[in-house]
Amino acid sequence: MSLLENELPGDNGVYSKVTLNFFPIDAVIDWKRCGIIANFISDYFRLHFDNEDAPHFSLSTIINEVIENVNRYSYEKNREARLTVSHLGDYIVIETVHTASKEQAKRLNQTMKKLGISNIETLFFSQVESAIDNELTESGLGLISLKKDYDAVVSANISPTTDEEVYSVGIQIKIDTRKLLPMHA
C-alpha cells in the first residue's frame, strides 16, 4: 500500500522497493549526503534498465531533487523523514513523508494547485521570473521541473497534526520509466 493510499492502475506488482528513514538535519549539515543517497538508490534500480547509464543518471537526479526538497522543507529537521522508491514495471514511484510548517504546507498546496491547472512550460518560466523579481532564496522549481522534464504525476497529502503549526506531508511522484531515457525514447 502506498503512503498516500493511491492505487496505481495497470501495475502488476512491485519489482523492487527501497525505503529509507533519515533525519533531514544530517543532509542539511552536509548536502553531499543527498547525492550519496540518490546515487545509491538509482544504482540499486540499475539492473531494471539493463545497466544503462541514462535512466540511472535521470533517476539519481530526480531522487536527489526529492531528498533536497524533504530536507529543505522539513519543519522539524531532527524528526525522522521517510523516502520510498518503488519500481513497478512501467513506472517508478517515489514517496516521501515528513513534517512541514503551516506556511510551508500552504505554499506546497498552492504549488500542487498550479501543477494541476497550468501549462507546465508557462508555469516553469513564470516561477523563474517570480524567483528573480522577488529575489527569492528558494526558487520553488523542484516539483515543477520534475513535471516539466519527466512528465511526472505529482500528488500530495497535507494534513495538520495535533500541533496547529506542524503539518504532515506525504508526496508521491509517479514517472513512466520511458521518460528516464534520453529524448523520452
Residue, of 108 and 85, whose pLDDT is higher = 85
**Dist CA 112 CA 171 (whole Å):** 10
Residue 140, pLDDT > 70, answer no
8 A C-beta contact, residue 68 and residue 147: no
Domains of the chain (ranges plus CATH)? 16-184 (3.30.565.10)
E strand segments, the chain:
16-22, 81-87, 91-101, 153-160, 166-176
Over residues 15-20, mean pLDDT? 91
Here the cell at position 173 is 511522484
Q: Which of 14-18, 119-123, 127-131, 148-152 is predicted least confidently?
A: 127-131
**Positive or negative CA dihedral for 120, 121, 123, 127?**
positive
Report the alpha-carbon distance of residue 96 to residue 85 in Å, rounded: 9
